[in-house]
A = this chain, B = another copy of it.
Amino acid sequence: MQIIHSAKDMHSLSKLLRVSDKSIGFVPTMGALHEGHLSLVRRSKEENEITVVSIFVNPAQFGPNEDFEKYPRHREKDLAMLSSVEVDTVFMPEREEMCGKDETTSVDIGALGNILCGVARPGHFNGVATIVAKLFNIVSPDNAYFGQKDFQQCVIIKKMVTDLKCGVNVIMCPTVREADGLAMSSRNVYLTEPERKASAALYKALCHGREFILSKRPSAPSAVQDEIEKILKSEPLLNPEYIEMLKPENLEPTGKIELPVVICLAARIGKARLIDNILVKEEPSLPDDCAL
Residue numbers of A with Cβ under 8 A of B are 7, 11, 15, 18-19, 21, 100, 103-112, 129-130, 133-134, 137-138, 140, 159-160, 162-167
Q: Which residue on chain B has the smallest CB distance to residue A97?
A: B165
Given A105-B129, A105-B160, A159-B105 in contact, is the A167-B110 Cβ separation under 8 Å?
no
User: Which of A105, A133, A164, A166 lies at the interface centre, i.e. has the most chain B CB atoms within 10 A of its CB?
Assistant: A105
Q: Which residue on chain B has the smallest CB distance to residue A134?
A: B165
Given A18-B18, A18-B19, A19-B19 in contact, is the A167-B107 Cβ separation under 8 Å?
no
- What are 8 sample pairs from A and B whose C-beta atoms fall under 8 A apart? A18-B19, A105-B110, A105-B160, A130-B164, A134-B163, A134-B164, A137-B165, A137-B167
Give complex CA distance A108, B104 in Å: 8
This chain: copies in complex: 2
A7 contacts across to B, CB distance below 8 A: 165
Q: How far is the CB of A7 from chain B (nearest CB, A)?
A: 6
Q: Which residue on chain B has the smallest CB distance to residue A20?
A: B19
| For the complex of A and B, 3 pairs with smallest distance between CB atoms | A104-B110, A105-B163, A18-B18
Q: Which of B11, B106, B164 contacts A137 (CB 8 A)?
A: B164
Give complex CA distance A124, B290 in Å: 39
Give complex CA distance A165, B14 in Å: 13
Q: Which of B105, B107, B130, B167 contacts A11 (CB 8 A)?
A: B167
Q: How far is the CB of A122 from chain B (nearest CB, A)?
A: 15
Q: Which residue on chain B has the smallest CB distance to residue A19?
A: B21
A11 contacts across to B, CB distance below 8 A: 165, 167
Q: How far is the CB of A54 from chain B (nearest CB, A)?
A: 12
Contact A163 B104 (CB under 8 A): yes
Apart from A104-B110, A138-B167: 17 A-B pairs, beta carbons within 8 A: A7-B165, A15-B18, A15-B167, A19-B21, A104-B109, A104-B111, A104-B159, A104-B163, A105-B107, A105-B108, A105-B159, A105-B163, A106-B107, A107-B108, A134-B165, A137-B164, A138-B165
Contact A112 B107 (CB under 8 A): no
Give complex CA distance A234, B74 in Å: 69
